[in-house]
Structure 1
Amino acid sequence: MEGVEDIVILGAGIAGLATSLGLHSIVTISVNSGLTTSEMPFTAPDQEVDFRCMNRRVLLETLENELPKSTIRYSSKVVHIEDSGFLKSIHLADGTIIKTKVLIGCDGVNSVVAKFLGLSKPSFVGRSGVRALINYKDGHGFEPKLMQFFGKGVRYGVIPCDDRTVYWFFTFTPTPQEKEVEEDPNKLKQFVLSKLGKVSDKIRAVFENTELNNMVCSPLRFRHPWELLWGDISKDNVCVAGDALHPMTPDVGQGACSALEDAVVLARALADALKRKQENDEKNEQWQIRKGLEKYAKERRWRSFELISTAYLVGFMQQSDGVLMNFVRDKIMAKFLAGVLLKTTRFDCGDLTIS
């Protein structure tokens, strides 16, 4: 079929690049113009920032460098997707139309592909998150561990990335009066500093010395987990992965990890299906693709449900400012929550080979 791609992946974040690496011999990647793969982990909708979390940037660059350059196509924004029978037509803002046998949406929380599948737009959880990176020319001196703190309606933490780079986060429940600080970097920084409470001078200096252009604030959103039980993760020859599948709050730190899980399961299921197709048998090929994506959806449905639910509940408990809830959290649930967080990291992707 002339002019038809075997596979198109929308989005070149961790999920998109890792999936394409598993299928690199037959993959075309399309990403929106203005976004580069090294910027995507910390790029909020319609917002670019000048910092990267170094470990994730290295991962993205490594994945990208492992791919043949001919498989990566930078394109203009996707306007809409048209169902042309088994083929899907991707209409771009510059007038280009790309037709494909398989469409994989790794295009983030505002996924066009998720919308095409009928999944609803992620919901605001009532909290906002500030994320930032600070570099120390002569080293920061922190031990390699998460330092987490709680205040009245806020939670924040400091995490060394390497000997000279520190990442920090700050989540809060904005009041109507505080919403305006999210739009003004100066007010946002002062707001964060005013909510730190009693911390060491060294910890406070992390926030005080962070440059304004190294901070970003965005509302925290998630997909209602029950939607994954009856919604379409895949349909015919279309599926979603990464944040397009399971947007979640950052409270269990599994967003990027689960994107890699998606990529392994999806690449294995789809490649295995395509390997079994018969030569010049279009109907059998379509059937194999559909069954491969259904297998992927079956494997990822409950895992995604668990991750989204756990992240939401952990965030709700950790950030509550009620006296009773704080007592339960600190005195009763602390060990349980630690166990839950550890359990979420333990996922067996199975055999990585294709039979």
Structure 2
Amino acid sequence: MAGGSGGALAVDAEVVIVGGGIAGLATALALRRVGVGGVLVLERHSELRATGAALTVYPNGWIALRALGVAHKLTSRYEGCGIFRVTDLENGETKVFRFAGRESSDEIKVRPADRKALLEALAEELPPGTIRFSSKLVSINTETAKSSPETAVLRLDDGTVIRAKVLIGCDGVHSVVARWLGLSEPVTSGRSAVRGLAVYPDGHGLKKEVWQFLSEGLRAAMVPINNTEVYWFLVNNTVAAEKEARTDPVKILREVTDNLGRHMPPDYLDVVRHSSHDSLSWVPLLYRSPWAILTGPTARGPVTVAGDAFHPMTPDLAQGGGSALEDAVVLARAMSRAATPAEGVAAYVSERRGRAALLVAGAYLSGWVQQGGTDVQGLRGCMVKLFRDWIFYKYIFRRLAGMMWYDCGHLLPPTSNEKGKNHSE
């Protein structure tokens, strides 16, 4: 590290990760696990920021967390959920699904978790100074010295200039790094999601199950995280009221209870009314075209993207967090095995493109069908619902659920006597 001209700070780093969310922290930790030093995480906020309050982590996410060495820190705090109840509010019918395990490990289950707890579990494993807060990236360039590999040159809003041998964009849906690479912008799904965390100081008394409710143009769910907190969401076809209400917690709650969700069961509305105001959000659901993920410029030399910056998807398979954790493990493993950073990045992209595109397509299909189509009415709407009830849930949903058991593998190559065995803490 050295001072630059005009008083600007100049920093050299082996790897710079833009974004201190799940993807960024997991990638930093994965690289540390394979022995990569000099990793710097740039987070534009002043502290770890947990947008979304909570998330449901499926087996593929826990397998990745186990490879990262932090799964045990969270599974001891959050119980597993094995029963999913889906109620069609238009006819009152409830379907019950059991999420049976493929692995005889108590650790590998579906578990809701507090998003901030996950971020803290990852951050605690990183050396002090790894995360640089209040660091907003404003521009990216590259430079190539004679007989030296390409270097990424980053400029921050405070004038700092950082030179990095590897640049990984984990900066979310509106990624600066993805835009620099030339990836297409995410597009709207025509739907939005309200999310919140209900708090019951004396306990909520709900069973440890996932409840989902469907009605025309709506999909809502609630799941207890522990004895006092319940995570809930409501996905709706985008409405005009959203723009005005999304920054005002009181208006968000009023819109859900008095308008969008007025036909929801009393138990669900009670959960909504118990929401902590600082946990509420209402955002449009965006995704990147699967074709763009398969064919787009997701890497350039030693520069690539991970998590939502790579494959933003709708939350209908609850795979945003899990897929980001997978990315981290695969990327670090590829980097540890490659002769050069650019080769490692290329190997990572090659391995992840197909699965990422499949997850994005599966999530979009799942959400669109379960809500009865987006702004689809009349005969077409009836056909979508028949497809949902008679084909989707019986055949397609089970295949989509199978994708949630994906094993991203070890971070380090197994020794000869470990081949075929699952990694353990």
Cα offset, 1:352, TM superposition = 2.6
Question: Which of residues 127, 130, 143 is equivalent to 2:191?
Answer: 127
Q: How far off its partner does 1:20 sit?
A: 1.1
Q: Which amino acid aligns with 2:361?
A: S
What code does the residue aligned with 1:246 have? H
Higher helix share: 1
In structure 1, the partner of 2:422 is: none
Which position in structure 1 is the counterpart of 2:99?
A: none
Partner-residue secondary structure (3-state), 1:68: coil
Question: 1:54 & 1:348 partners in 2: Cα distance?
Answer: 20
The residue type equivalent to 2:368 in the other structure is: F
Q: Among 365, 370, 382, which residue is 1:318 paired with?
A: 370
Q: Match for residue 294 of structure 1?
A: 346
Kindly indicate whether residue 170 of structure 2 is the aligned counterpart of residue 162 of structure 1: no
Unaligned runs of 5+ in 2: 3-10, 55-111, 145-149, 374-380, 415-425
The CA deviation at 1:326 is 1.3
C-alpha separation in 2, matches of 1:137 and 1:243? 34
Return the alpha-carbon distance in structure 1 between the equivalents of residues 169 and 140 of structure 2. 11
Stretch moving more, 261-270 or 332-341: 332-341
Letter of the structure 1 residue corresponding to residue 30 of structure 2? G
Deviation at 1:201, TM superposition (A): 2.6
Which aligned pairs between 1:180-199 and structure 2 lie closer than 5 A? 180-193=244-257, 194-196=259-261, 198-199=263-264
1:346 pairs with 2:405: yes
- Aligned equivalents of 2:249 and 2:116: distance in 1? 24
Q: Give the conservation status (yes or no) of the 8 Å contact 2:53–2:115.
A: no
Task: Report the secondary structure of 1:34's partner residue.
Answer: coil
Matched to 1:324, the amino acid is: M
Aligned twin of 1:150: 214
SS at match of 1:351: coil
| Alignment CA distance shift 1:13-1:182 (3 Å) | closer
Residues in 2 aligned to 1:29 and 1:301: alpha-carbon distance in whole angstroms: 25
1:20 and 2:28 correspond? yes
Task: Tell me if the contact between 1:271 and 1:354 (Cα under 8 Å) persists in the aligned partners.
Answer: no
- What are the equivalent positions in structure 2 for 1:223-262 lying under 5 Å apart? 223-262=288-327
Q: Which residue of 2 aligns with 1:280?
A: none
Deviation at 1:141, TM superposition (A): 1.3
What one-letter code is carried by the residue in structure 1 that aligns with 2:167?
L
Give the drift of 1:178: 5.7
Give the drift of 1:106.
0.8
Give the Cα separation in 2 of the matches to 1:28 and 1:41: 27
Q: 1:340 to 1:176 in 2, by over 3 A?
A: same
Q: Which residue of the partner structure matches residue 60 of structure 1? A: 119
Match of 1:220 in 2: 285
Give the whole-Å Cα distance in 2 for the aligned partners of 1:228 and 1:10. Answer: 20
Q: Which of 103, 117, 121 is residue 167 of structure 2 equivalent to?
A: 103
Structure 1 regions of 5+ residues with no counterpart? Answer: 44-52, 277-287
Q: Deviations over 1:200-257 (max 9, x none)?
A: 4322211223244331100100001100121122110101001110100000001100
Q: 1:354: how far off?
A: 4.1
Q: 1:335: Cα distance to partner?
A: 2.0
Which of residues 361, 385, 394 is equivalent to 1:335? 394
* TM-score of the superposed pair, with normalisation by structure 1: 0.87
State the match for 1:5 in structure 2. Answer: 13
How high is the TM-score relative to the length of structure 2?
0.73
Name the structure, 1 or 2, with higher relative contact order (CA <8 Å, separation 6+): 2
Separation in structure 2 between the aligned mates of residue 70 and residue 177 of structure 1, nearest angstrom: 43
Q: Secondary structure at the match of 2:350?
A: helix
Distance 1:55 1:103, change over 3 A: same
How many equivalent residue pairs?
Answer: 333
